[in-house]
Chain A
Amino acid sequence: MRKPVGIIYGVNDVPPVGVTLLSGLQHVGIISIILVFPLLVAREAGLSRDRTLDVLSLSMLVLGIGTILQALPRGAVGAHFLCPPVFTAAYLSPSMLAVKTGGLSLVLGMTAFGGLVEVALSRALHRLRPYFPSEISGFVVLMIGVAVGSLGLRNVLALGTAEPASGLHLTVATITVGTMVGLNVWTQGAPRLFCALIGMGIGYVVAAGAGIVTAADLAAVQAAPPLRVPGVAHLGWSFDVGSAIPFVVAALATPIRTMGDITICQKMNDAEWVRPNMRSLSGGVLANGLTNIGAGVLGTVGVSTYTSSVGLSGATRVTSRLVAYAIGGTFFLLAFLPKLSAFLVSMPRPVVGAALLFSATFIFVNGLQIITSRMLDARRVFAIGLSFMVGIALDLYPAFFAGVPPAFQPLVSSSLVLGTLSALLLNLLFRLGTRRTQRLLVDREQSDPTKIEEFMEAQGAAWGARRDVIDRAKFNLTQSVETIVEGYALQGALEIEASFDEFNLDLRVSYAGAPLELPDRRPSNEEIIESEEGQRRLAGFLLRRYADRVQATHKAGRSTILFHFDH
């Protein structure tokens, strides 16, 4: 793993203490936006004000534990990146159902059960790899960007509330996002590192000045005690088979986001990134499952990794693991400081929306980059394009999906989940008829390099291969055929066989004739100029250098060259 040039403090770097703590605070600010989910469930359960404060405090503890688990530097648990969790809509919907049928104890028992399902899934993740190619990972990241951006817009425009956004709301949102973007683009040092925190602070002050934050909004802050040890009186656990399906669906949907977020973390921290690292993904899903078991045990709702936080890391270029520890520590403190927690939860909607929009932009572009790093044939274009339409339909026409049976509501809980399911199913369907090995016969009398290149192009797109690797393969095929036809082949056609899996591209060129020379020393300029033999040796040298591994064999008058490319 090589740190990209743009990242200031990479995952293994040690930033100064001030940078670490303030970066942690910045993340806590953006994570606290979503603390409203456990509050919604607590209200639905009819908990008293004190018990609701307990839920809020214990939720902070769960977020702290989850953040640290994901960032652990080694071992089977955790993605090993700064990738904090947050409460997720995927679990909110079944939790709201469960609280109605079995109270809070059923929510907690079923949340822990959902965590167990995620843990089990994490152990089988590597087997699912063929069904999760890179462009689908990129699509998931793209859809996460869309989902976060959509949530941001809902907050900025105050959609779904009694009063639509006024000019004042839009002004506050514009000032907030303008501050964040302006500091990020045109400043250096501390203003850039803490652009989101500064933006949220300025947004909060402007919102208060404009009367958007009222005394009523701050009543919960005033009522909360400054210091309090959270109680556990609300804890209790039960299990209901009838509630299992929606929680299983939530447990299957959550890893989609987790894997997408971790993929961004991997790409952000590695200049040489080419594909998702399955070990890190498995560890990340395992950590999320364990956090959800903890959420159930400690009395709150289910979590998933938080894309906005990942986007914030990318935008500020600080991805250090130590920031995760700072976030964890801050949440542990906040668990005992209810007044501060309540203040964070009361952040005005235009500021919340602006922060979400800010981080969504980074995620969206990362998704596009991952998708376009691969060659795409019609099958892959349809899998991604149609799934994007299916996913976005949920955001555009939510009323149409309102009639979905409650048990399957988690499947339509977000455009991300619906779009990803569509992409996975279409990918599965389009795998039919895609062959991993293809052959081409080249007539030595009429060898056409364009046909050879078209063969490799078509295969690369069908396999979803990397463009740079296919370009190298094209050169090795055309140069070897050219050289063999000119100086080595005696009779008959040349046979080309190309085989691919996600990690390897192997080309086999066989023909009747003498073996092609593949020297590991470049012929001198004089040798190249003076004879065609020198030119052929140069060809062999280039072929050897361009492939990651070469092998030439000769048996019973027939020669075979194997070019191997790492993918």
Chain B
Amino acid sequence: MITIIKRVKELGSNALIASREFRDYVEKQETEINRGISSLCILSTIMQSKEKELHGYKILKDLTEKTNEMLVIEEGTLYPILRKLEQDNIIKSRREESGRKRKYYSMTEYGKQVFNHLAGFYSKLTEAIAPLFDVKVDLQQDKYFYCPMCANKIDLSNTELKFCTICGFNIEQELIERGLRNE
């Protein structure tokens, strides 16, 4: 991960950033925060892509663009993360038969469910901690429903879904009560 602090090139001699101790501490903290969310952001990039499958370089490009270059992964370190996700059966890969023989990645069905749950958890967590930083988080509750039991992120456009796929909670009843679905 490339941290924000690492990207600061010009150091004011009197600024706090000139202190080695400060830089090291802040960089370590930023790395820790980035590490936790990087896998989730990579999965999100694959999930949200209009293309069925993406190669590593495209994943990185989309990720950098979508996060306004805030979450920049050291490019070589993307592949160990992809490998881990593949081994955990979250994503699957296919190698091109001809040409550059690129490796294309896509989500597995299991991976999609894992992602929805983690995305829900992360969204609710972000919403919950937002007041601590005096920021506002819009969870787009007209598009998504977050399971009250397990925080699973459920796309409301899927009108067939009656139960949470993670915990089995009856979401239809809940949606009717909240006026998000008709009886």
A binds B: no
Which B residues are within 8 Å of any A CB, using their own CB?
A: none
